[in-house]
Structure 1
Amino acid sequence: MIIFNGSYSKERKNGRIGVKKVVVILLSLLVAFQFIAAQEKKVLNAEAGQAFNSGLDLAKKQKYEQAIPKFKKALKAEPNFPDAHYMLGYCYKKLSRYKEAENEFKEAIKLDDKFSKAYVALGKLQFAMDKRQEAINTFKAVLAFDPENIKANYELGRVYYEMKNYKTAQGYLEKAIKINPKYVSPYNMLGLVLEQQKKYAAAAEAFQNAVNKEKKKSKKGTYYYRLGKVYLTMNKLKQAESALLQALSLSRSSSIKAASNFYLGETYKKMGQKQKALKYYSKAAKSSQWRQPAEYEIDMIKNPDKYAY
């Protein structure tokens, strides 16, 4: 910024323009030209751009087979096009062509080694392919240049949870929550991690946060189920009852509904309300997954003498 003051006026009276002003103007012009040149380098040729946009439109309509040739056409016209490789990987993944998807995500990263979205997509794919250590390395590669990347932190927490490394998982999930407290998924995963560590009060708090922040009813139902299950473990029966009834009301998942019915049976059994327990065990028994334990509990209530020792 040039500050005009008395010295400038004095120089002008003497017929001299300030040298600093001239230098600043020249530097500004140089920066402007460099910016324009940089922008021109990023501009794709028309053929590549048109093909890419056509591919995007098809991908949005879930027409992945038809989108693939469009992205290939874009790459033929513009080989240094990381986004086209990324979208090819995305389409291949949707078609369960995982090896081809993996190769395309890697190509995108080769062209742009700071392409966070491609790293995260690659890591998630590697995890799905049961390449857990490779997935960890990929997510950590993102954090090396983008430590505040919420998706990489969350996905690392998820991988370590599946590997039963709960303490490490907890650290990454807490970091994800710190980065963006409004992002729901880390709260749910943190609840699962804490539950496995028998930190039930903290797990209940995490699931309650997930419930409070989630907008989709079906997901909220899942989180209510997990909250109710933890409350049951803590012997907080009224809270368990309330959460599990909410799960039944909100969830669209048959497996979540069946599990909620079973644990409501458990809750009412602990409350001494046998008829309500039988009602929900009977509902749970309609599910193949819960039939055996539910029928066992029903038989215990109806025929207690069989189980007297």
Structure 2
Amino acid sequence: MYMRSFFAMLSLSVLVAGSVFSQGVSPESAEKYNAGQELFKKRQFQRALASFEEAVKIDGKNAQAYRAMGTTYKKLRNYKKAIEAYQMATSVKSDYAAAYFEMGELQFQTKDYAGAQASIQKVLATDPSFEADKTREILKKAYLQEGTTLFKRRNYKGAAAQYESATQVDPSDATVFYNLGLAHRYARSVNAAREALETAIELDPNYGKAHRGLGDIFKATGKNSSAASAYLKAIQADAKDTKSRLSLALVYQAMRQNSKAISVLSKAAQVDPKNATVHTALGKAYSDARQYTNAVASYKRALGIKSTSEVNYRIAEPYFGLKQYRNAIAHANKALSSSKWKVPANVILGDCYRELGQKEKAIAHYRKGVTNRQYKKYCEDQIDRILNPMGGGEEEAQ
């Protein structure tokens, strides 16, 4: 918001100095420039532009007139022409900080972040005191925005370089260091990512996302105790942080502390009751603990929010554990259309039909599981047991 008001201020400032700006140029050019100022004040922008153009035709070294053209083109929303005019102003007067600033601000506004960086750096090089706070803020934001653009393109190293530059402009901004840590993490520079996130936390101890980011690094590198500690701090900073609760539960499960995982996920379900992922995770935690009735209840809540192949497969497992084979079959069948879940769904269908004594159906489903390396051995064994219930292959006694 401040940029719009600041642009308005600059538009006026360009045109109030009159003869002061016209010093050093021919009197005829100065006269046209001053006439353009008066027209601009009256909001007669096209006529003002014509006067400024005449001023530079008379004297091509009238940098102020070029700058005024840039401001007028901006008013007319012809941003390309405005940039060209500012470029002419700075080519005539290489230390023209005001023109560089206005050009950089407009480049930022039009999302030319690299151009904005170059222009604002020129301001700092020619006159570090010129609108110092606003200049550095624009430069920082230009680095951040360019970094975000590169991050979205998966150019994580390029994004990290932009964020690193932003930290040089403002080393007190925790958000900048968080972004830097995230970029380094995706670029697989683990140590650099950790250092950046720790700096973000030093600057803002209650920065929940930074704690979560640090937890993700610890979790990925197998440092489960440190990961759990980081996620707990993230949750302390933001009680509604569902992502941290989900990750914390996974860490507890990896540490074989399933009761803690259930506790964390139960709280997550209270805080975020319409989140199907939370109910699915809680259902799996209950299922792993062989609390099948609770698992079914959690999966049903997940299905009530969003029915997916994954949840239909997963709810079949506790139904199987409860020996409710028909319910398990009904849900597993709904997972067969998924390329990801059709194999495990076929395996549990084989298990259900085996328990129901429907051998041919069981074998048919197990054979579909044989195609997958993870389930191949299990399915082959089950088929063999069905076909050879007494073990087979043994010689009869003579």
Q: Give yes or no for TM over 0.5.
A: yes
Give how far 1:183 is off. Answer: 1.9
Cα distance 1:169–1:234, how it changes in 2: closer, same or farther (>3 A)? same
Q: What do you get for the CA RMSD once the two structures are aligned?
A: 2.4
Aligned residue runs from structure 1 range 160-239, under 5 A: 160-214=252-306, 220-239=308-327
| Equivalent in 150, 154, 169 of residue 58 of structure 1 | 150
Structure 1 range deviating more: 179-188 or 140-149: 140-149
Q: Paired residue for 2:371? A: 286
Q: Paired residue for 2:208? A: 116
What TM-score, normalized by structure 2, do the two folds share?
0.62
Give how far 1:281 is off. Answer: 0.6
- AA aligned to 2:293 is A
* CA–CA distance in structure 1, aligned partners of residues 263 and 136 of structure 2: 42
* CA–CA distance in structure 2, aligned partners of residues 300 and 150 of structure 1: 45
**SS in structure 1 of the partner of residue 391 of structure 2:** helix
* CA–CA distance in structure 2, aligned partners of residues 146 and 221 of structure 1: 32
Give how far 1:58 is off. Answer: 1.2
Is structure 2 residue 357 aligned with structure 1 residue 272? yes
Is structure 2 residue 339 aligned with structure 1 residue 252? yes
* CA–CA distance in structure 2, aligned partners of residues 128 and 182 of structure 1: 28
Segments of 5+ residues of structure 2 without an aligned counterpart are 1-132
* CA–CA distance in structure 2, aligned partners of residues 188 and 156 of structure 1: 15
Identity %: 26
- AA aligned to 2:377 is Q
* CA–CA distance in structure 1, aligned partners of residues 391 and 244 of structure 2: 54
Instruction: Tell me the matched-pair count.
Output: 263
What TM-score, normalized by structure 1, do the two folds share?
0.78
Give how far 1:148 is off. Answer: 4.2
* CA–CA distance in structure 1, aligned partners of residues 309 and 259 of structure 2: 27
- AA aligned to 2:365 is Y
For residues 155-208 of structure 1, what are the alpha-carbon distances to aligned partners after superposition, in whole Å with 9 as ceiling and x for unaligned?
322221221212222111111111110122221221122122221010111122
| Contact 1:151 1:176 (8 Å CA) reproduced | no
* CA–CA distance in structure 2, aligned partners of residues 160 and 69 of structure 1: 35
**SS in structure 1 of the partner of residue 175 of structure 2:** helix
Give how far 1:97 is off. Answer: 2.1
Give how far 1:119 is off. Answer: 0.9
| Contact 1:265 1:278 (8 Å CA) reproduced | yes
Aligned residue runs from structure 1 range 148-159, under 5 A: 148-159=240-251
* CA–CA distance in structure 1, aligned partners of residues 311 and 185 of structure 2: 28
Give how far 1:282 is off. Answer: 0.5
* CA–CA distance in structure 2, aligned partners of residues 146 and 304 of structure 1: 57
| Contact 2:157 2:183 (8 Å CA) reproduced | yes
Give how far 1:235 is off. Answer: 0.8
Give how far 1:109 is off. Answer: 1.0
Q: Paired residue for 2:177? A: 85
Cα distance 1:281–1:119, how it changes in 2: closer, same or farther (>3 A)? same
* CA–CA distance in structure 2, aligned partners of residues 262 and 69 of structure 1: 49
Cα distance 1:118–1:257, how it changes in 2: closer, same or farther (>3 A)? same
- AA aligned to 2:374 is Q
Larger RCO (alpha carbons 8 Å, 6+ apart): 1
| Contact 1:86 1:104 (8 Å CA) reproduced | yes
Cα distance 1:96–1:257, how it changes in 2: closer, same or farther (>3 A)? farther
- AA aligned to 2:288 is Q
Is structure 2 residue 354 aligned with structure 1 residue 262? no
